[in-house]
Structure 1
Amino acid sequence: MSEYITIKENRDFSRLYRRGKSYVSPVLVTYVLKSKHNNLRFGITTGKKIGKAVKRTRARRVIRAAYYELYPELKQGYDIIFVARGKTPYVKSNVVYKAMRQHLAAANVLKQSL
């Protein structure tokens, strides 16, 4: 699991919210920004609107599972933030995976398949 680099600093989250391109669906919001370094970093945000701690934790777990499944297909050199929506804790990870794949394809972060 050490190959996954997470975004933890508030300034990095703020930078992505301000300057990143956003993609919205009913289960997920994705912010993408090209970064200076050659790493692929990601962060997950779940606000209090999602529910109590159990719901927020489930939302993070579902998003993380979808990201780990999609990780081998992603280009390096991007910062990505996933924001949970109200439906996120109630859906399976494959629903989040499909939304995440659409967002990242629109952002041109997926590797081109030959």
Structure 2
Amino acid sequence: MHRKLRLRNRQDFNRIYRGGRSFANSQFVVYWSRKPEVEKFRLGVSVSKKLGNAVVRNRMRRVIKEIVRLQADKIVDHIDFILIARKPSVSMKSKELERSVLHVLRKANLLKPYPDRKPVP
């Protein structure tokens, strides 16, 4: 994931937590807010110490960033968002985590619509 697509500053995290919207499923919480100055999107990942030791937390962080990197073309532009991992996500496989991340992003309406897909009757 490119450096310019990451949220790093405490001020950015606080701005999103205070002024953003949130959606959740049992594995993840997403906080997001619009940021017109940003070209694509920026991602912040938060993994609590309650989930495990540093190895577990860093693995979760890496897996989440990779999932978002692979799905970057599906995510809407001009937003900042934070993905927070919850306890059930630790025991899941990568494919299940990917499905869960896409689910919470779809729930938050942060995925682009499918232009070529026809509605099913």
TM-score by length of 2: 0.84
Aligned mates of 2:85, 2:111 — CA distance in 1 = 21
- Give 1:95-110 correspondences, 5 Å limit: 95-110=96-111
The corresponding residue for 1:66 is 67
CA deviations over 1:43-81 (Å, ceiling 9, x no partner) = 101111111101111211221122112111112100010
Q: For structure 2, which runs of at least 5 residues remain unmatched after alignment?
A: 116-121
Structure with max Cα Rg: 2
2:50 is equivalent to residue 14 of structure 1: no
The corresponding residue for 1:26 is 26
CA deviations over 1:76-103 (Å, ceiling 9, x no partner) = 1000101111122221222222222122
2:91 is equivalent to residue 83 of structure 1: no
Q: For structure 1, which runs of at least 5 residues remain unmatched after alignment?
A: none
Q: Which moved more, 1:84-93 or 1:51-60?
A: 84-93
Count of residues in correspondence between the two structures: 114
Structure 1 runs of 4+ aligned residues shifted over 6 Å read none
TM-score by length of 1: 0.88
8 A Cα contact 1:70 1:97, kept in partner: no
